[in-house]
Chain A
Amino acid sequence: LAKTTQPISMDSYEGQEVNITCSHNNIATNDYITWYQQFPSQGPRFIIQGYKTKVTNEVASLFIPADRKSSTLSLPRVSLSDTAVYYCLVGDRIYNQGGKLIFGQGTELSVKP
């Protein structure tokens, strides 16, 4: 399964756009890229998922270059409530006998007033 690398932490201010990049150099053909958000003492929450190019929903945008070896989660105009840990997951199945989707350390985003 593809291993992901993302920054351990990021700081931002309210109203700014935040971009979190995830590297996944050995992504496989069938792999999707999925981002989750987790607040303290809560379960992760699905944010966005993509396979290639750009995906946008009401919460975020996901940019995926043609080689798919990285992806960037973009959060427009963050607020204090966006302070959370953001996980990038890459894989083709949540689980199987050969492995499973891995939640890494994630990126701890801190939004300041």
Chain B
Amino acid sequence: ETGVTQTPRHLVMGMTNKKSLKCEQHLGHNAMYWYKQSAKKPLELMFVYSLEERVENNSVPSRFSPECPNSSHLFLHLHTLQPEDSALYLCASSQDGGASNEKLFFGSGTQLSVL
């Protein structure tokens, strides 16, 4: 148990659906992250929030929309996705996001399949 909880664990959606991924951290951290991991590929950083403010957006398509209502919760809203968006979506948190020796704490991820 890492202190970072993601729901749902698995999600299957059509290209016209709208769904949301949820992440909650119980560690008192100030920074939260969304990563994408496609099959047999490295993790890709998508979004970073520090103290509920988005500080990083790595050229992610607008069909992915993050939301951070408070420092403990992070959402990823999905709409009109493509089959190539099928991947493991991982949420992570860290103490502040900027220190040189910070550690990332990951959730178990949401395995997304887009049909």
Contact = CB atoms under 8 A, between A and B. Distances in A.
A79 interface: no
Most chain A CB within 10 A, of B55, B91, B98, B102, is at B102
A51 B99 CA distance: 14
A93 B100 contact: yes
Contact of A41 (B2, B43, B109): B109
Given A32-B101, A93-B100, A104 B42 contact: yes
A57 interface: no
A43 interface: yes
Contacts of B2: 43, 45
B104 A44 contact: yes
Interface string A3-37: 00000000000000000000000000011101010
Contacts of B109: 41-43
Contact of B99 (A31, A46, A93): A93
Chain B contact patch, size range: 20 to 34
Grouping DSSP codes into helix (H, G, I), strand (E, B) and loop, the A interface class, with mixed when no group exceeds half, is loop
A95 B97 contact: yes
Contact of B106 (A30, A44, A51, A102): A44
Nearest to A96: B98
B45 interface: yes
19 contacts: A31-B100, A32-B101, A41-B88, A41-B109, A42-B109, A43-B106, A43-B108, A44-B104, A45-B2, A45-B106, A46-B103, A91-B100, A93-B98, A94-B31, A94-B48, A94-B98, A95-B55, A100-B45, A103-B35
Interface of A: 30-32, 34, 36, 41-46, 49, 51, 91-96, 100, 102-106
